[in-house]
């Protein structure tokens, strides 16, 4: 199976899923019923042997607990990263009140993640049915995430053994924003997933960029944050951010989210550095 056939198959799976539309049972308001959450994903591929994965094991990046592609799947040959941009409807809904997440964003964050998890599982099944081993780490039983902070509220351990953002970065999908999101060619407002497989796919011809190359450091995400969790000096303070998310969860359980640093910013739906250079 070549790269084109694989990509076309992924797009068919994406287009055929009803889970990408907010159901009447899940919609937090009547105007959200049948709203589409994500646009077609962009796909990036790198070799499972890419030495940049080793760099993610550094303590100043993720740490030794990060699992290499071959630790998830010994036969791994390719790592595939998917970025799902939120639709304009979901993004615009979150600009109406910049102090609290919109109902559309909450649906997009939680029901949207359920769709992405299902999509990931479908890709694994598709590859398996075509004779290829694969795993999607974020929905695998070996996946873990953890959070811990020091006495000053600075994150000393806010991590997981597979980071979709860092993996997407290694795949050449984009670079990091001041708010720690990943700025892709389709912007920062969206969600990521990935699949590791023993299918050898043509890798993208990429050159690893500096971590924040796509960020123009405009500071708009700092102004947007309702709890002042972002600064030029320290980037995002995960403890403050998590505290707000926990508050939102307590008021909207099981849903939570915020996303103010991903909307009404130059990197919302494009790479602003590319536009800026042009």
The DSSP result for 179-234, as a single string, is TS-EEETTBSSEEEEEEEESS--PPP---PPPTTTT-----HHHHH-TT--EETTT
Q: Is the pLDDT of residue 150 over 80?
A: no
Tokens 């589409």 sit at which residue? 36
List pLDDT tens digits, range 238-267: 889 999 999 999 999 999 999 999 999 999
Task: Give, in degrees to the nearest 5, the angle at Cα 170 between 167 and 173.
Answer: 85
Furthest CA-CA distance within the chain = 52
Q: What pLDDT, on a 0 to 100 scale, did the predictor assign at position 207?
A: 80
Q: Quick one: angle between helices 103-129 and 3-16, nearest 10?
A: 130
Average pLDDT over the chain, rounded to an integer? 93
Average pLDDT estimate for 199-228: 93
pLDDT of residue 209: 85
List strands edge to edge, sheet with 134-135: 42-47, 78-85, 190-197, 134-135
Residue 153's pLDDT is what?
Answer: 44
pLDDT at position 273 over 60: yes
pLDDT for residue 58 is more than 60: yes
Residue the block writes with tokens 């009803």: 18
What mean pLDDT do residues 79-86 have? 98
Res. 104: pLDDT tops 90: yes
Q: Helical H runs in the chain?
A: 3-16, 52-55, 69-72, 88-93, 103-129, 164-170, 220-224, 238-252, 272-277
- Residue 190's pLDDT is 98
Which positions ≥6 away from 265 have C-beta within 8 Å? 188, 218, 220, 221, 224
Alpha carbons 214 and 177: distance in angstroms, whole number: 7
Q: Say which residue the tokens 């001041």 belong to.
A: 178
What is the DSSP-derived secondary structure letter of residue 265?
S
Hey, which residues does 42 pair with through a beta bridge? 83
107/105 Cα distance (integer angstroms): 5
Q: What's the mean pLDDT in 141-152? A: 70
User: How far is residue 177 from each of residues 211, 215, 268, measured CA to CA in Å?
Assistant: 8, 5, 11
pLDDT > 80? residue 278 = no
> Mean pLDDT throughout 68-73?
98
- Nearest to 198, CA basis, from 67, 76, 49: 76
pLDDT at 154 over 80: no
How far, rounded to the nearest angstrom, does the alpha carbon of residue 213 sit from its chain's CA centroid?
18
The 10s digit of each residue's pLDDT in 164-210 is 999 999 999 999 999 999 999 999 999 999 999 999 999 998 888 88
Per cent of the chain over pLDDT 90 is 85
Predicted local distance difference test score (pLDDT) of residue 206: 82
Q: What is the pLDDT of residue 276?
A: 52
Tokens 């990197």 sit at which residue? 267
129 pLDDT more than 50: yes
pLDDT of 224 > 80? The answer is yes
3-class DSSP state of 133: coil
Grade residue 146 by pLDDT with cuts at 50, 70 and 90. confident
Across-strand partners of 146?
A: 159
Q: Mean pLDDT across the stretch 107-129? A: 98
Among the listed residues 159, 164, 165, the one whose alpha carbon sits nearest the alpha carbon of residue 136: 164
Instruction: Please give the Cα distance from 222 to 230 (Å, whole number).
Output: 5
The two three-digit tokens of residue 142, written as one number: 């070996």
Beta bridge partners of 190: 85
pLDDT at 148: 54
Q: Which two tokens stand for residue 150?
A: 């020091």
């Amino acid at each position: 199976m070549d790269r084109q056939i694989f990509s076309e198959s992924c797009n068919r799976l994406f287009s055929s899923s009803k889970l990408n539309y907010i159901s009447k049972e899940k919609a937090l308001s009547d105007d959200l019923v049948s709203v589409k959450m994500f646009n077609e994903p962009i796909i990036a591929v790198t070799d499972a042997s890419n030495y940049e994965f080793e760099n993610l094991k550094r303590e100043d990046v993720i740490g030794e607990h990060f699992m290499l592609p071959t630790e998830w799947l010994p036969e791994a040959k390719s790592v595939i990263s998917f970025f799902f941009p939120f639709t304009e409807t979901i993004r615009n809904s979150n600009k109406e009140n910049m102090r609290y997440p919109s109902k559309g964003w909450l649906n997009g964050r939680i029901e949207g993640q359920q769709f992405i998890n299902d999509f990931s599982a479908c890709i694994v099944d598709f590859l398996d049915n075509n004779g290829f081993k694969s795993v999607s780490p974020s929905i695998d039983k070996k996946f873990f995430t953890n959070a811990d902070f020091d006495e000053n509220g600075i994150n000393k351990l806010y991590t997981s053994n597979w980071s979709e953002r860092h993996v997407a970065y290694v795949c050449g999908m984009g670079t990091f924003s001041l708010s720690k999101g990943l700025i892709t060619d389709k912007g920062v407002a969206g969600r990521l997933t990935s699949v590791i497989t023993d299918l050898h796919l043509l890798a993208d011809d990429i050159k690893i960029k500096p971590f924040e190359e796509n960020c123009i450091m405009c500071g708009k995400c700092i102004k947007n944050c309702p709890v002042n969790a972002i600064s030029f000096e320290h980037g995002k303070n995960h403890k403050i951010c998590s505290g707000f998310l926990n508050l939102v969860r307590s008021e909207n359980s099981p849903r939570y989210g915020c996303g103010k640093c991903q909307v009404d910013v130059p990197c919302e739906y494009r790479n602003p550095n590319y536009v800026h250079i042009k």
